[in-house]
Every structure is written in C-alpha cells, then in structure tokens.
Structure 1
Amino acid sequence: MILLRNTCRSAAADSAVAMMPTPAPIAIRPHALMGNDCDYNRYPLSDCVDCISFSRSGSQEHFSCREIGSMISDLGVPVADNIVQCATGPYDDVIYVGQEFDNVKVFRDELCKYAFLKGFKYRFIKNEHTRLTAKCADDSCPWRIHASQSSRKKTFVIKKMNPSHTCRLGYSKDRRATTQWLASIIKDKLRESPHLRPKDIVADLFRDYGISLNYHQAWRGKEIAQKELFTLHEEACNQLPWYCERIIETNPGSIAMLAASADSKFRRVFVSFYASLNGFERGCRPLIFLDKVPLKTNLQWKLLAAAAVDADDGIFPVAFAAVEAETYDSWFWFLVQLKYAVPASRPITFVSYRQKGLEEVVLQVFEGSFHSYCLNQLMEDFQAELKKGMWSDKTRDAMTDDFKNAAYACSVEDFNAHVESIRGVSKEVADWVIESKPEHWSNALFKGQRYDHYSPQIVKSFSLWIPVKHESSVVLIIDAIRDKLMEVMQARREASSSWEETLTPTMEEKLKKEIPKAAHYVVCSSDTLFEVRWNTVNVVNIGTWECTCRRWQLTGLPCTHAMTVFDRLGKNMYDYCSRYFTADMYRLTYAEQIHSIPDVEKMNSIFTSSYPPRTSRPPDRPRRKRVNPNKTTIRALRCSRCKAVGHNKATCEAFL
C-alpha cells in the first residue's frame, strides 16, 4: 500500500513512505526536500514543489502530481483517502462568501483563477448577467458556488459556497483559460518585473496555476500584456496632461491633479470642477458620500467619487478620481486631494462602506469630522452573523427588527432596550452589535448629522452617466461625467427658477406629512420651553431648535412636537427649517455652470497610438553588413534535364 501525504504547494511537506510487498520498493518524497540542485527537462522549474521524485533501483526520475496519481490508479491502490491534492491550504481564501466583484466578468476570471490554483474543473449551472452558479465537473463532488448581483451596491457578491472537494484534484487544462485571461495575469507580473522573459512566464504560470504553456504562447501573452500596459502608459503620459490643462483653461478655479508613481508613470488623476466646489460650499449640507463607481468594461482603472446631496435630496458630485486600484493608499491620496479642494469652514460628515481602509483614513485626513458607516452593509453583516446560529426564521426576523430599531432609535434608552432584546435571545449576537462600533451608525450615539441619509448608494448612479463606448479611455470617462454634470446642472437651474415655495418640493412634501400628526397637548414652561404631552412627554426648545425626541436635530425639519408648539403660538413653521432645505440654497448650489471642453472628440487623432514604442538609438556606430571581396558568386541553378538556367528538373516543363 502506498501512503501519500499532501506534498503539493508546501515546501514543509512531510516525506511519504512507500510500503509494498515487492522486492523493489518505491520511495516517494516531495521535490522541495531535495534542494535546488535537481535539473530536469520535463518541467522548466528550478524550485518546483509541484512534482515528486521517484527513486527506483538507484535511478531517479521526476513526475508531475497528475502522473503520480495515474500510476497509483494503475497499481490498484484505493485513493479515496490518499489523494494527491494540489494547491490546498493557503489558496482556500482566494474566494470566499461575502466577497464582492465589480461585475460578473471579473467574478468569472477570479473563479477560473481559483480553479487553476486548486486544480479542478467546473461547469456552470446558471451563467447569467445577474447570477451565476457553478459546481465541480465531477458530479459526485459537493463543491458548489453561487453568486449574484447585490441590490445594495450593484456589485457581484458570493452568496453561498461549499468549498469541500471529494474529487481528485490535480492540474488540468480548461477551455476558460483564454488568451485575454492569461494576458491579464501576465500583465500583473510585468508590472512587478518589466523585463520578465517568456521562459520565466512559462515557469511562473506552471508554478502558480499549473498551466503548461510553450514559448510561443508565453511570448504572445506577453505581447498582448505589454500592448495594454503601453496603451495605459501612453494615455497617462499624453492624453491626461492635455485634458487636465483644458479643464483648467475652460473652467477657471477647477482642480485637475495628476500623480506620478515611482516609475514616473501617471497612474492617478483627481478632478473637481469649480461649479461643484462652489455649489457644495454655498448650498449643500456638510455631508459627503464616499464610494467606488463600478465600471462595466474598463478594468484597468478604478473610479473613486465624493458626492453630496442638494436641498432637494438630489445627487451632487463634488470630486472624483481615477486610480490604478482601490487600496488604502489610493483612498488616502484621494482624501488628501479632497481636503485641499474643499474649504475647511465647517465639520463634515462622511458616509461610506468602510472598504479598503476608509475606516481609518477618513478620521486621519479630516480631523474633527464625523464618519458614518453604511447601515445597509451593517444589516447584511448582521444577517450573516445570524446565519451562524440555529434559530427559526421568526426569531431571526425579530432580531433583525431590533437591530434596525436600535439604529434608528433617537435616544440612548431606546437603543439599549433594543440591544437588550437581542441579548435575551443570544448574548453572542448582542456582543457583536456592541463591538460593531454603534457610535458610527446609531442615531442615538452618532455625534454628527446625517440628515436621514444612511448609505452612500446614490454614488452608484454615476455609472449610468458613463456610456460603455467611453469606458475605453479614462479621459473619455471623465469627460462623460463632465458632460452629464453640465447637462444636469443646467436642467436643475432652469427648473428651480419657477419655484415659489420656501422649501424645495421634496422637503415641502416631507414637512406636510408631519402637519396632521401635530395634535398633542401643550404645556408652556417658559417663553422658549414647552412640554408636549401625549403618550410621552417631550420638551421643545424653540430658541435652540431642539426637542427631546431628537428628530428635529437629526433631520433638520421640525418634528411633530415642534409643529404642535408652532400651531399653538401661531408661528411660521418655515422659519424653523434648516436653511439647507430652502429653494434659495438650491439655486445657489447650481449658480455656476460647467463649460464644455473642445477638441475632446479629436483626441485620438491628436495622439496617435503606436506600438511597439519607439526605442532610442543604441550608442556607438550602427553595424553594417560588410561585403566580403573574397566570396565567390553563387552558382546559378541549372536544370539537369534541359540544361536551362533558372529551374531544376522537378519543375522543368520543356518538351524534349
């Protein structure tokens, strides 16, 4: 019987022992334990841990894991518990439940990469734009994954996954390993090592993914990857500086900033138009939403955005940036530029999903500001936490309602009551609620002002502003946003010119919904303090615009208790509404306009792309093909059949 241990992908794997009743035993041990002095021609790797050394009768041969498994099957040894499993352990967290992707295409690429890392094939059960389900190609294997589009962020999220494999894992070819997919992997390697040779690519792909390429395939993939990298570099070095100059020329006061990476390539661009900065400072609430805008086809750039809301609760872009990746460093750089662009005249409340280090970056860059976590994301995390327990659907719904009520509770007493209700069912879940930092998402504990906005989901609508045909270039992406923003600002400016009410239409409707509720009993305590008694007793201070229910402070609109006092005193309720909801502030928001940028359509003709890039002339004199005077002339070809010159007898057509 042959006992095999998990020898692949682990340099610290144990030696396996071969015990057979034959006089010539077979010793199996991992190649990683043999050192790097083993030179073999079957697989071009110098430090491979994916092969096994066979030593039989003093000779040594090298075989892949797949060949070892085939030999074991030929020997008739049961392999149900002794399977050579490749790429296990550290690669299990490549994809996981809850992981988000920009779109279904990115998820398919990552799934293909994961399958190569683990060494198995899969097939699709559902393969649609909004949902995808796949299972292992072996029908008896329970591995399965399901992902679908998230309604919250319009991204692709892994919802369910069974990571267990009972099939035989090993390297295998897959038709989903397309040329473009391989080029994307090679492109990441070229960013780190620009002078990577095709034979190094062959070795790296076999070591990392088990993909066997020949030299020509690796060379072709490198050419495609280099062409894409060159296009990005050319665009960043030529088109972006030109476009940023045009922004500043046509829209004075705007900010268009480029950042160069360590290799002197422009990889980041920050844009904020003067009309947006002026409108945010003069007419918008000090409330900014931070999020990434999903692009449909362009995967080379990531679009970060900061947006506010106008007096009518409409989305108002403040700034956006194109970066190479959504990381902690890119978000830090974006917020530093935003701080430079936005005047620090008032404390700002930020709302975000806490992705990629935003939890630390916001308070680090904007000291004295407030950071609110997305409530929708917290709800999904809370529901995922509930799935760990064995509760009925009714109990889970009750705890979900308690969590939601705890978030919307305006007083600390109500917040604690809902948390204690959850604790009565599960102490662990209640501890999770407290550890999730409720001071960043609960109305009762949050120190800033969110004006009833709990999610940055409105930023996602930016993606609708960008046509797919413009996603090929970061300049066209930015110009598409500029063009749409110019159109929206012009339309809203014209619409607001005919408004006659004090408040904007949306805020007017919200305020009128509170009027029928204002029918409580009022007790006057002083000139500015009033007790409003109904089921509870609330104190209204019309001098400081406060009520003990805290709805007036949280929303900026008078609550039902304040409306009752106004009705009793005969005061105008519009005088006690936040100035950020008035029609005058709305008009100030859109007072400035964004100007068009000419010659953007002719940009491709201005900067003609040429690949391969031009190389500089090497030093020294150029080599010449010298004429050898001693070389004799080449004898002319003569036919041995007809004795004519210029052909041979095989092509002779002479009639003899």
Structure 2
Amino acid sequence: MIYASTTDDQCSVVVRKNLCGHNCSSTRRKKQVKNATKFWICEKVKDFIIDNATLKAKALQKKIKERYKVHIHYQKVYMGRILALSQLYGDWDKSFDNLYRFKAQIESCSSSSIVNIDHHIINGKIRFRKMLFALKPCLDGFLNGCRPYLAVDSTLLTGRFRRQLASASAVDGHNWLYPVCFGIFDSETNENWKWFMTQLREAIGSPRGLAIHTDAGQPVMTAVNEVFPLAEKRECMFHLVNNFKKQYSRKTTTNGQVEPKKKSCKKLDGRVLPHIIKKLNEESRELSLEVQECSEEVAEVTSLGGSGFRFVVNLQERTCSCRKWQVCGIPCKHAIAFITSLSNASIEDYVDQYYSIDKFRTTYQQLIPAMPGKT
C-alpha cells in the first residue's frame, strides 16, 4: 500500500509511505542516469547539433543537464552525439561511397564542370586519396569577370578523417572573395600540391598577367613554380612575418551567396561600381597637392605641407611613380589631382575595367545549378 499527497502547487505528488518497497531508479539517489540510452540521447541532442554542429560531447552533456535536470555519463553523450551526426549528415565511412555519385550529379547538373577524384587500391579495395572540383559558372566568372589573381591556401579538416581542404579564390570588383575551385588531400606535400595546381591549370589555363598568392609554404610554392612558371608569385604578409619570426626568433614591429549578388547587379547603373566611385570622391576632397603639367598626358604632382615629395603621373599609360595606381587599378590621389585639374576629364574613365559594372555582372552571370539530395 502506498500513501501520497499533492504538494502546494497542485501539480506534484509526494509519496508519504510505501509499504511495498522501492526498487526503481531515482535521479535523486543517483548522480547519473543509467537507463538513458544513446538512442534517447541522440533524439534529445539533435536540436542542439542542428543549431551548432561543432558542439562537442562535453558541451552537449552540460546542455542536457540544464534542460532535463539529469547528469548522463560522458561516454553515453559521446555515442549519442555520433549517432545524431550520422542521422543528420550521413555516415563518415559511407560518405566516400557517394563520391562518384556526387561527381556524376555535378556533371549532369552543370556540364563542363570539373570533378577529378584520385584513388588507389589497397587489399583489393578502392581507397580515396584526393579530389578537386570546380564548377563551370565559377570558372567562367573568374576568367571573364575577375582580375587574374588567385589566392591559394589550405586548412585542416577536423572531422573523423583528418584532411586538408585546399582552395583557389579570386577577388571580384567589390573586393569580395570569389570561389574558383576546391580540393581535398591528406597532407600538404609536394606531390599533393603539384596535383592540385596541375588540375587547376587544366581548368583555367594560364591567363595573361596571372598572379598567385600563397602562404609562403615550401610545398605550395614549389608546385606553383613548377606548374605556373610564368605567373607572378606573391606571399601572404601574415605568413611571411610569422615564418620570419620563427626562423630568426626576434621581435617584429592581416547560391546562397551568388543569388543576392546577382540581384544586386540589376540595381547597378553607370560604368563603375558605386563603392569605387565613393572611394574616389572621398580621396578627391582636401588634396594638398600641386600639379605641374608637362604635357596633356604627363604631370609632376608635388605634396604640400612640408614633405615636398614629387610624383610623376602618366595618364596615357595609367601609371604613377608611387605605384599604387599600377597595383590596384584605381587612380591614386596624385592621379586624381591631375585628372580633376583637367577640363572635360572624368576620373571614372581611368578606373580599370575589372571595377566596371559590366565585369561585375559577367562574374555572376551564371548561377550554380541546384542539385537534388541523395535518394
């Protein structure tokens, strides 16, 4: 026989007397709940993982305790998390079986896109080594609308299988990063980087004036020199300074995306992108410079206010001895001073074509095609 009564909140019942004994589990008597299975945990943590897939078991353990007022062993939470990730995003091992289906689907939805997969055979089984994929709209957008500049780098993938995610990115007229291609390989070796750069060259060729920007790592620099011998090479200043500090140990004194940009193109009017016009207008104000014309196309521009530095501007060649105009393709303040001193001259006429609205529209002219899910 059991005697019980309701509490003051009229929602809970308290057992006052139990003559039959009590042998069920109780969260009040035990610090950990043993009868919570990984399947139960899986269902409870799915919402947390959907919001943030990077949450680890320790964080999920804390969230379960906050929401359900129970403490569950770390190992059970870990297994429940693995099961939830598998149900939400697929199994790690089985995902490799879908690579060639992924390749076929991309080639079906976007003809002329490139998906190259490299594998080897171990004990009669096909094992993944590396891959590269480049979508046709991205390749065309880079070749026809972006400056001939590529930033090449890789980052560590921290999932179950540690790999390197490599990428080659360009810059559009708004100075937004523009994806060209991606690759995956096991580590940053000379062989892997040479394979990646070779696939990249087959995709884009060797555009005139191409500049390739790297992190100054020896394997990637070696590959760039071998595969793109005529390209101009540049090193990331952040990595260059860090490598210098390591060596000398001294102190030293950084479609969800395409569609909105495509829509913004329709609203643009004129010849040059608005943010470039705004930048030029800002720089044209309060110019403390003196212009002395040597001819209709050449002038000496002198800084006022004490420094007295003199720069030579050539409008026909679009150069300035400060070299800023040549580097970025936008008239420097010395060129602006010369241009604004002329009658019937427009600064917009001296901005490089890669900052034009036409080039920007060309960059995002093609949409990345939609792909169906796995069936």
Q: Same fold (TM over 0.5)?
A: yes
SS at match of 1:512: helix
Once the 2 structures are TM-superposed, how far is the Cα of residue 291 of structure 1 from its aligned partner? Answer: 1.1
Q: Paired residue for 1:244, among 99, 103, 106?
A: 103
1:530 equivalent in structure 2: 299
SS at match of 2:334: helix
2:17 equivalent in structure 1: none
Q: Paired residue for 2:324, among 532, 536, 551?
A: 551
2:236 equivalent in structure 1: 374
1:253 equivalent in structure 2: 112
Distance in 2 between the 1:509 and 1:296 partners? 42
Distance 1:356 1:548, change over 3 A: closer
Distance in 2 between the 1:530 and 1:241 partners? 61
SS at match of 1:487: coil
Once the 2 structures are TM-superposed, how far is the Cα of residue 586 of structure 1 from its aligned partner? Answer: 0.8
SS at match of 2:283: helix
Q: Paired residue for 1:292, among 134, 151, 154?
A: 154
1:345-424 correspondence to structure 2 within 5 Å: 345-355=207-217, 357-384=219-246, 387-388=249-250, 400=253
Distance in 2 between the 1:260 and 1:365 partners? 22
Kindly provide the amino acid, as one letter, of the partner of residue 509 in structure 1. Answer: K
Q: Does the aligned pair in 1 maintain the 2:156–2:163 contact within 8 Å? A: no
Kindly provide the amino acid, as one letter, of the partner of residue 233 in structure 2. Answer: H
Distance in 2 between the 1:554 and 1:498 partners? 29
Distance in 1 between the 2:129 and 2:92 partners? 9
Determine if the alignment matches structure 1 residue 282 to structure 2 residue 55: no
Distance in 2 between the 1:329 and 1:585 partners? 36
**Percent identity between the aligned chains?**
25
Kindly provide the amino acid, as one letter, of the partner of residue 239 in structure 1. Answer: N
Distance 1:298 1:558, change over 3 A: farther
Distance in 1 between the 2:160 and 2:172 partners? 30
Distance 1:299 1:326, change over 3 A: farther
TM-score, length-scaled by structure 2: 0.69
1:377-409 Cα offsets, whole Å, 9 max, x none, are 222344456754xxxxxxx5xx62xxxxxxxxx
Determine if the alignment matches structure 1 residue 341 to structure 2 residue 203: yes
1:596-619 Cα offsets, whole Å, 9 max, x none, are 111x343xxxxxxxxxxxxxxxxx
1:65-84 correspondence to structure 2 within 5 Å: none
Distance 1:338 1:387, change over 3 A: closer
1:564 equivalent in structure 2: 337
Distance in 2 between the 1:232 and 1:296 partners? 13
Distance in 2 between the 1:355 and 1:234 partners? 33
Q: Does the aligned pair in 2 maintain the 1:311–1:580 contact within 8 Å? A: yes
Distance in 2 between the 1:298 and 1:351 partners? 30
Kindly provide the amino acid, as one letter, of the partner of residue 330 in structure 1. Answer: N
Determine if the alignment matches structure 1 residue 597 to structure 2 residue 336: no
2:349 equivalent in structure 1: 575
Q: Does the aligned pair in 2 maintain the 1:233–1:265 contact within 8 Å? A: no
2:267 equivalent in structure 1: 498
Once the 2 structures are TM-superposed, how far is the Cα of residue 522 of structure 1 from its aligned partner? Answer: 1.5
1:315 equivalent in structure 2: 177
Kindly provide the amino acid, as one letter, of the partner of residue 543 in structure 1. Answer: Q
Distance 1:268 1:387, change over 3 A: closer
1:528-578 Cα offsets, whole Å, 9 max, x none, are 111112311211110100111111111111011111111111310000011
1:167 equivalent in structure 2: none
Q: Does the aligned pair in 2 maintain the 1:291–1:352 contact within 8 Å? A: yes
Q: Does the aligned pair in 2 maintain the 1:326–1:356 contact within 8 Å? A: no
Distance 1:584 1:565, change over 3 A: same
Distance in 1 between the 2:263 and 2:242 partners? 40
SS at match of 2:233: strand
Once the 2 structures are TM-superposed, how far is the Cα of residue 519 of structure 1 from its aligned partner? Answer: 4.2
Distance 1:590 1:519, change over 3 A: same
Q: Does the aligned pair in 2 maintain the 1:529–1:539 contact within 8 Å? A: yes
Distance in 2 between the 1:300 and 1:373 partners? 26
Kindly provide the amino acid, as one letter, of the partner of residue 242 in structure 1. Answer: R
1:177-196 correspondence to structure 2 within 5 Å: none
Distance in 2 between the 1:554 and 1:297 partners? 40
Q: Does the aligned pair in 2 maintain the 1:233–1:266 contact within 8 Å? A: no
1:429-448 correspondence to structure 2 within 5 Å: none
1:195 equivalent in structure 2: none
Once the 2 structures are TM-superposed, how far is the Cα of residue 298 of structure 1 from its aligned partner? Answer: 4.1
Q: Does the aligned pair in 2 maintain the 1:251–1:274 contact within 8 Å? A: yes
1:585 equivalent in structure 2: 359
Distance in 1 between the 2:361 and 2:118 partners? 35
- Structure ranking higher on relative contact order (CA contacts 8 Å, 6+ apart): 2
Distance in 1 between the 2:237 and 2:119 partners? 36
Once the 2 structures are TM-superposed, how far is the Cα of residue 284 of structure 1 from its aligned partner? Answer: 0.5
1:425 equivalent in structure 2: none
Distance in 2 between the 1:354 and 1:386 partners? 16
SS at match of 1:258: strand
Q: Does the aligned pair in 1 maintain the 2:129–2:186 contact within 8 Å? A: yes
Higher strand share: 2
Once the 2 structures are TM-superposed, how far is the Cα of residue 356 of structure 1 from its aligned partner? Answer: 5.2
Distance 1:254 1:385, change over 3 A: closer
Distance 1:361 1:386, change over 3 A: closer
Q: Does the aligned pair in 2 maintain the 1:522–1:530 contact within 8 Å? A: yes
SS at match of 1:594: coil
Once the 2 structures are TM-superposed, how far is the Cα of residue 365 of structure 1 from its aligned partner? Answer: 0.4
Which has the larger Rg? 1
After alignment, is 493-502 or 305-314 more displaced?
493-502
Distance in 2 between the 1:523 and 1:508 partners? 25
SS at match of 1:351: strand
Q: Does the aligned pair in 2 maintain the 1:312–1:505 contact within 8 Å? A: no
Distance in 1 between the 2:350 and 2:231 partners? 25
How much is the aligned-residue C-alpha RMSD, in angstroms? 2.6
Q: Does the aligned pair in 1 maintain the 2:119–2:129 contact within 8 Å? A: yes
Distance in 2 between the 1:540 and 1:294 partners? 46
Once the 2 structures are TM-superposed, how far is the Cα of residue 497 of structure 1 from its aligned partner? Answer: 1.1
SS at match of 2:179: strand
Q: Paired residue for 1:541, among 314, 320, 327?
A: 314
SS at match of 2:256: helix
TM-score, length-scaled by structure 1: 0.41
1:503-526 Cα offsets, whole Å, 9 max, x none, are 324323332232125342221212
Kindly provide the amino acid, as one letter, of the partner of residue 589 in structure 1. Answer: T
1:641-656 correspondence to structure 2 within 5 Å: none
1:424 equivalent in structure 2: none
Q: Paired residue for 1:515, among 284, 293, 306?
A: 284
Kindly provide the amino acid, as one letter, of the partner of residue 542 in structure 1. Answer: L
2:38 equivalent in structure 1: none
1:219-246 Cα offsets, whole Å, 9 max, x none, are xxxxxxxxxxxx877644x311111011
